[in-house]
């Protein structure tokens, strides 16, 4: 039974895979996608660093780390999701590890300008 199921799963993955370039960890990418809950009318654009990639085939996913209005956000996306419209590679970061989770903990102090505390 297991052999039949694995053959079926491989055939299903091949037919349902969307041809996209898989981002590697350390890549700086632009991602255009449909956000959750929208009826494919509104799109969002994200620019960020890929921290990690996981799995293979139709289950392949990647994690993006970005800063939005001073708040750091990490999001996970499925590579072959129909909600992703486009992935553009803008550059790459020199790296020594395959998973860049330590970048989430790097904290930069936000300077408060023009604030007078009395």
Residue 112 within a domain: no
Structural domain total, the chain: 1
Distance CA 59, CA 61 (A): 6
Residue 57 within a domain: yes
pLDDT of residue 106: 60
Residue 114 within a domain: no
Helix, strand, coil % over all residues of the chain, rounded to 5: 20, 35, 45
Residue 36 within a domain: yes
pLDDT of residue 110: 34
Distance CA 58, CA 29 (A): 20
Q: For residue range 3-33, list pLDDT tens digits in order.
A: 666 777 777 777 766 777 888 888 999 999 9
Q: What CATH number does residue 56 fall under?
A: 2.30.30.790
Residue 116 within a domain: no
For the chain, residues with pLDDT lower than 70 are: 1-5, 16-17, 38, 105-118
Residue 111 within a domain: no
Q: Which domain holds residue 16?
A: 2-94
Distance CA 33, CA 28 (A): 16
Residue 70 within a domain: yes
pLDDT of residue 76: 92
Residue 101 within a domain: no
Q: What is the pTM of this model?
A: 0.73
């Amino acid at each position: 039974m297991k052999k039949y199921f694995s053959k079926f799963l491989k055939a299903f993955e091949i037919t349902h895979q969307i041809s996209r370039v898989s981002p590697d960890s350390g890549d700086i990418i632009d991602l255009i996608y449909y956000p959750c809950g929208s009826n494919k009318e509104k799109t969002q654009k994200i620019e960020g660093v890929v921290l990690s990639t996981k799995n293979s085939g139709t289950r392949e996913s990647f994690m993006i780390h970005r800063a939005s209005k001073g708040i750091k956000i990490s999001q996970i996306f499925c590579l072959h999701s129909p909600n992703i419209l486009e992935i553009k590679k803008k550059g790459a970061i020199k790296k020594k590890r395959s998973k860049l989770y330590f970048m989430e903990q790097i904290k930069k102090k936000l300077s408060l300008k023009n604030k007078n505390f009395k």
